Structure 1
Amino acid sequence: MILRTSVTALALAVGMAVFGNAQGMAIKDADLTQWQSKVPAPVNQPYPYGTMRLQVDTTDTTRRIFKVRQEIPVRAGPLTLLYPKWLPGNHAPNGPINKVAGIRFRAGNQTLQWKRDPYDVYAFHLEVPQGVTNITAEFEYLSPSAREQGRITATQDMLNLQWNAVALYPAGYYVRQIPVQASVKYPQGFTAATALSSSSKDADNTVRYETVPLDTLIDSPVYAGRYFKSWDLDPGSKTPVRLNVVADAPEQLEMPDEALRAHRALVTQAYKAFGSHHYDHYEFLLSLSDQMGGNGLEHHRSSENGHDPDHFTNWKGSFVGRDLLAHEFAHSWDGKFRRGADLTTPDYNTPMGNTLLWVYEGQTQFWGNVLAARSGLVSQDQAKDAAAIVVSTYADERPGFGWRSIADTTFDPIINKRSPQANTGYQLSEDYYRGGQMVWLAVHAKIAELTGERKGIDEFARAFFGVDSGSWDVRPYTFEDVVATLNSVAPFDWATFLRERIDGTRSPADGIIANGWRLAYRDKPNDYQKAALGESKTANFALSLGMNIASADGRINSVLWDGPAFNAGLGIGQTLLAVNGMAYTKDRLETAVRAKQPIRLVVRNGEVVRDVTIDYRGGLRYPVLERIPGTPDRLSALLAPR
């Protein structure tokens, strides 16, 4: 049996040895095996004992409890069962094991004792008695009942079932080699959508799904709801693409014709960009809710998405964030079919490597915005206004590039687990997304320049992601593969070009200039920014005073490192009480900034109230893109439909 050694345990052992020597108690030939995790490493061989059966009862939506029963074929002897830890698309070891309770194992009527691995808390050890060929595992998954517990995944009217939350699996095997047959009992009146194919449905609304490898099951989540509607986004195709929507109320499911045309155009434009598809069918799963938590998570044949309840009914005004479905759809090619080699792990408990997330997420962020514009989900002007915000972020609001690189931020999902930070602009935070987007914008411009405008990033996408159309086996890649494909499109020193932007501490904002546009500033936000600020309920003074404020109560949400507010001693969590002798309001602060004179504030920090003066005289500044005369307009060409 191959053992997976715990790095933490090894460090502990070494530390004890050093401590012992310091006290004159030398430890010779320390037995490190006592600090080893006894979890078998995965081997690429079929699971030899049969098909697992997983039954989930989701009917207790009032208390938001999922009841799980799992039958696992086994042989007598030691057995280790794993709960998924490293989740695809999460880029971090954050499997929700803290929400699992009531774990019980049985062999027939015999209760089996279990013990959690002390160095891998996602692993459970048991001893299977002689003559036993099948054991039953039962537990409850206590999904969050309040937002502070995590994302809400079940309400009275809808639910999101993620299989990784409700499944165990035997250690020692690649997950693609473990067959599983799942069934779900849904609340009466609920309709479910998933990439899985169902084999039967009972009168009690229990749906049985086809037997699939465990990795396919985990990659095929479910959205189900009382108010449900589905649209065919590629009519007549032999490879269906459907938009499946659950909502808080039935009237929220009324999608205008304009919106349906844009969603159908998204499929068309994606096929033109990538020149392929990598699924047998694709299911957009979308919730329109202010009760179930929003989401954006990619899968090979589906995606989990969330928008506000008025997403369709306020179609003219709900354009902010409308690139979500485009982003997650692009992931079917970038991240699922083509995946960084160090992210392509054999099971869900082997650590993943994030070093290529600037391709996985950065290029998908790029394509999400491009495809949203090409399909008409947003207008070209809206796409440019959104791009102006990103460009200004990297031109003005990321002093952290003085010490960190985009490449180093690929570790942030592990380091920070997506929790709030004190100074995002200085610490940086998963900048492989939008910083990566800017890098790929620069790549597009360079390809166009090298080829006399005959080619662009579409040619790279078809060469890199467009191979083996119809196949949905994972094709891993390395940095060298990316460089080789770029060279096949337009010969150049791409390795240096990319490394300077990914590994260096330079801002990636220069790509916009190469595309024929430059960053400028106005004293009023554009329509896109107004809508974004309204949704976030934020008063944005980031490019003037260097801080953002909660519109309603004056609480400071963010402060730009080394900006005017920062240098005046203001920080996150402090509250503005007064502006130039008058009670704080957003409008009064805007008026004071427009005056281009030092601003007197009264600020509360805990129980301390003090006077603060910000000597800023630059007026209000909001970003906008403007054309550079006499240069190719590569950005408009990029955003135009194919």
Structure 2
Amino acid sequence: MKIRPTTSLALLPVGILMSALVSLSAQNISLTVDATKTRNKILHAHLVMPVKPGPLTVYYPKWIPGEHGPDGPISSLAGLHFEAEGKAVPWQRDLLDVFTFHVVVPEGASKLEANYDYIEPDGGSATDKLLILEWNEVALYPEGTPANKLMYDTKLIMPEGWKFGSSLPVAEQSGNEVSFKPISFELLVDSPVATGQYYRNIDITPAGEPIHHQMDMVADSEDALNMSAKDQKAMTNLVAESGKLFGARHYRDYHFILGLSDHVAHFGLEHHESNDSRLPENVLLGPGSGMALGGLLAHEFAHSWNGKYRRPADLAVPGFEEPMKTDLLWGYEGLTDYVGPLLAARSGLWTPDQYHEYMASIAASLGPGRTGRTWRPLRDTADAEFGMGFGARGWMSWRRGTDYYDEGDLLWLEVATIIHRESHGAKSIDDFCHAFHGGANNGPEVRTYTFDQLVSDLNAIAPFDWATFFHSRLDSTAKESPVGGIENGGWKVTYSGEPSKLEGRRNPGYMYSIGLQVSADGTVGDSVVGGPAFEAGVSSGMKLVGVNGRVFTPDLLGAAIKDAKDDSKPITLLVVVDEFYRTCIVNYHDGPRYPHLVREESKPDYLDELIKARVGQ
């Protein structure tokens, strides 16, 4: 990854070059990570950097690309020691920034060595059988040089018998040690490694595709790696459909890194030439495997174009200590959240019905039950992401969270339908993606954009008052869900007692009836402010232990909601709050409500036209 050639690095705030730092154009930083104690949840790092005598400032990565915030796991750094010429060098942490360390390199020293450990948090990235290594977690770097100018020589020492996969080019491998070719610090952080006792790689390169694509899977058991032939074909289709949608690739080759475990965090993180995705251990063995792969891997794959290659200018900073501005995350994440499911449906990972139910659940989750819409506009969910995004728990219907994802999905679906309408069917969202994300494949690189440039590029495809459109959606505090794209596409959102095919998503049977999100053990994750359960006294963080005089189970609560429709009796809930019992009487009699999409026959079905496969057409 590198800054677009038209961007002058000299104009970027890269900090003051300290006297202790030598030019690194000819001398690389060396980083060795010993992962042989992964089973003990600890990694050891040995780093050597060229220096000159005098004061030196060293950083631990703080602002992590893709995480959009200053959440580098500094608390997991332990055992830090510096030395030069065989003697210890004292260090002091900066009083205003815990990610910054100050040392004074002694006279006569030409290199500074650092030894330290990274403690893998429980539920993080390591188990007894696998490790997914994100280099920012185990690296230090000197002040004063942009990350794309710092060069690193890296080595990984794995437990005996473990195998690995990564987009990093390999220099040499001997036994359980692998050395990678020299690479910029920017690209190193952008290139995770998956290693484990149980490892499998699968070639998913479509026929005739010149660029190699593969899956690198690690799991806690060998059986968990048994991806079906159907899913392999759909993943190959995903690669092919991405080429059709974007019309270009911006990587040397691509690796889908997939960790399968019940003991690591489940999420996805995008990179230029790979993605770090985590799912439950046996997800590939069940009937919902395609839905899970399409819901996560398609999104992270699309980020290679949208977010990594085309990136909001305020998110493209030259180092990991400099703040990012997140105001355009509705473009970075929102457009990706639309494109990912689109590709999942086009590739066959999702069926059309699954796509319909997904869009219905998105629209319903942002409807009147999302009472936070009345005070907090979509724009603010992006602007405040690094302080309020992923950290908040509970009360999400009122406070809102990372809604720039889901509402971005609806926003960009509406953009797609407007392009179709304003061009009288001559243009589509595919034409915009070709123009916006296309260009020559120079490997990983960054082309930044601003709001005005985004509007200009849309106008080049379909002239329209895009600026006013975006401002109206971004600044709206209307309580209604923004379903213009669904309706323009010939569908509408309805509710019925028929369970959704995506019942596990947001617990819709409770959320859209009594206004509760409840886990299997009864913990209330959310209670819609103003909803029937909230008005009865149930709120986020409480625990539901009884329903109509019986011990709580999810099925009993569902039955109580259903039964209350047929008689005039309220629903009696027993909850625990602060070690006290509370009885809450819920007056609700409209029965279960699940969101669905149904056709609006008076309009053409453009929604299904958008999700049709493009390969072969």
Q: What range is the shorter-chain TM-score in?
A: over 0.9
Alignment of 1:518 onto 2:489:
no
CA contact (8 A) 1:244 1:286 kept: yes
> Larger deviation: 617-626 or 251-260?
251-260
Alignment of 1:576 onto 2:539:
no
- 1:111-150 CA distance string (max 9 Å, x none): 1111111112111111112221111111111111x23xxx
Structure-1 residue corresponding to 2:466: 494
RMSD of equivalent CA atoms: 2.0
State the alpha-carbon separation in 2 of the partners of residues 608 and 394 from structure 1. 33
Structure-2 residue corresponding to 1:34: none
State the alpha-carbon separation in 2 of the partners of residues 131 and 125 from structure 1. 18
State the alpha-carbon separation in 2 of the partners of residues 254 and 573 from structure 1. 38
Residue of structure 1 aligned with 2:233, choices 252, 261, 283:
261
Question: Aligned pairs, how many?
Answer: 592
Residue of structure 2 aligned with 1:541, choices 490, 510, 513:
510
Residue of structure 2 aligned with 1:241, choices 202, 213, 238:
213
Q: Secondary structure at the match of 1:640?
A: coil
State the alpha-carbon separation in 2 of the partners of residues 474 and 120 from structure 1. 28
> Larger deviation: 331-340 or 577-586?
577-586
Alignment of 1:528 onto 2:502:
yes
Cα shift at 1:635: 0.8
Structure-2 residue corresponding to 1:620: 592
Structure-2 residue corresponding to 1:558: 526
> Larger deviation: 476-485 or 612-621?
612-621
Cα shift at 1:471: 4.1
Amino acid at match of 2:510: F
Q: Secondary structure at the match of 2:320?
A: coil
Structure-2 residue corresponding to 1:106: 83
- Structure 1 residues 613 and 542 mapped into 2: Cα distance closer, same or farther (>3 Å)? same
Residue of structure 2 aligned with 1:86, choices 47, 57, 63:
63
Residue of structure 1 aligned with 2:475, choices 503, 512, 515:
503
Alignment of 1:223 onto 2:194:
yes
Structure-2 residue corresponding to 1:40: 16
- Structure 1 residues 71 and 602 mapped into 2: Cα distance closer, same or farther (>3 Å)? closer
CA contact (8 A) 2:389 2:402 kept: no
- How do residues 4-23 of structure 1 correspond to structure 2 at under 5 angstroms? none
CA contact (8 A) 2:134 2:189 kept: yes
Residue of structure 2 aligned with 1:74, choices 51, 75, 91:
51
- 1:251-293 CA distance string (max 9 Å, x none): 2222221111100000000000000000011111001211233
Structure-2 residue corresponding to 1:567: 535
Cα shift at 1:316: 5.1
State the alpha-carbon separation in 2 of the partners of residues 437 and 539 from structure 1. 19
State the alpha-carbon separation in 1 of the partners of residues 31 and 395 from structure 2. 44
Structure-1 residue corresponding to 2:4: none
Structure-2 residue corresponding to 1:608: 580
CA contact (8 A) 1:79 1:128 kept: yes
Q: TM-score normalised to the size of structure 1?
A: 0.89
- How do residues 249-288 of structure 1 correspond to structure 2 at under 5 angstroms? 249-288=221-260
Q: Secondary structure at the match of 1:433?
A: helix
Amino acid at match of 2:610: L
State the alpha-carbon separation in 2 of the partners of residues 90 and 260 from structure 1. 29
Residue of structure 1 aligned with 2:554, choices 571, 586, 590:
586
- 1:2-31 CA distance string (max 9 Å, x none): xxxxxxxxxxxxxxxxxxxxxxxxxxxxxx
Structure-1 residue corresponding to 2:5: none
Structure-1 residue corresponding to 2:8: none
Cα shift at 1:630: 1.6
Identity score, percent = 37
CA contact (8 A) 2:508 2:594 kept: no
CA contact (8 A) 1:362 1:433 kept: yes
Cα shift at 1:41: 6.8
CA contact (8 A) 1:539 1:586 kept: no
- How do residues 360-371 of structure 1 correspond to structure 2 at under 5 angstroms? 360-371=332-343
Cα shift at 1:500: 0.7
CA contact (8 A) 2:509 2:558 kept: no
Residue of structure 2 aligned with 1:347, choices 319, 322, 329:
319
Cα shift at 1:315: 4.1
Amino acid at match of 1:131: G
- Structure 1 residues 442 and 133 mapped into 2: Cα distance closer, same or farther (>3 Å)? same
- Structure 1 residues 422 and 317 mapped into 2: Cα distance closer, same or farther (>3 Å)? closer
Amino acid at match of 1:570: V
- Structure 1 residues 169 and 577 mapped into 2: Cα distance closer, same or farther (>3 Å)? closer
> Larger deviation: 496-505 or 572-581?
572-581
State the alpha-carbon separation in 2 of the partners of residues 42 and 421 from structure 1. 41
Structure-2 residue corresponding to 1:211: 182
State the alpha-carbon separation in 2 of the partners of residues 95 and 382 from structure 1. 36
State the alpha-carbon separation in 2 of the partners of residues 612 and 51 from structure 1. 65
- Structure 1 residues 484 and 578 mapped into 2: Cα distance closer, same or farther (>3 Å)? same
Q: Secondary structure at the match of 1:155?
A: coil
> Larger deviation: 336-345 or 563-572?
563-572
State the alpha-carbon separation in 1 of the partners of residues 91 and 543 from structure 2. 51
- Structure 1 residues 605 and 539 mapped into 2: Cα distance closer, same or farther (>3 Å)? farther
Q: Secondary structure at the match of 2:40?
A: coil
Cα shift at 1:162: 0.8
Q: Secondary structure at the match of 1:121?
A: coil
CA contact (8 A) 1:39 1:123 kept: no
Cα shift at 1:317: 5.8
- Structure 1 residues 277 and 622 mapped into 2: Cα distance closer, same or farther (>3 Å)? same
Structure-1 residue corresponding to 2:375: 403
Structure-2 residue corresponding to 1:8: none
Q: Secondary structure at the match of 1:104?
A: strand
Q: Secondary structure at the match of 1:259?
A: helix
Amino acid at match of 1:208: S
Q: Secondary structure at the match of 2:277?
A: strand
Q: Secondary structure at the match of 1:519?
A: strand
Cα shift at 1:541: 0.6
Higher relative contact order (CA 8 A, sep 6+): 2
Cα shift at 1:573: 2.7
Structure-2 residue corresponding to 1:6: none
Amino acid at match of 1:133: S
Cα shift at 1:524: 2.5
Q: TM-score normalised to the size of structure 2?
A: 0.92
